[in-house]
Amino acid sequence: MAPPSLPTVRMNYIIFWILGFGTLWAGLKLFDDEVLLIVTLFIGSGFVLAGLLSSPVILQIGIEVALIASVFHICMECIERGDSP
């Protein structure tokens, strides 16, 4: 008789979070055009949301707050760029 196996912990969500937050960071640092910035925002948010779907519930709340703060920051940068003469 085989001993009971321990439950496996899947950490796929970390890969999605690295891709998502890396895309958000790269969008802020690389692109000056608002269209490209918004596109990278959507792509990065998609990766982060995929990570949220596969993560434990305890981590979901903190990451959700960080994502909302980063989206707000990006939107404020787009608004500031539009106001310059």
Structure tokens of 65? 């707050």
**pLDDT above 70 (res 22):** yes
Check: pTM over 0.85? Answer yes or no: no
pLDDT confidence bin for 47, thresholds 50/70/90: very high
| Strand (E) or helix (H) holding 61 | helix 57-83
23: left (phi over 0), alpha (psi -120 to 50) or beta: alpha
3-state helix, strand, coil in the chain (%, to 5): 80, 0, 20
Rg (CA), the chain: 17
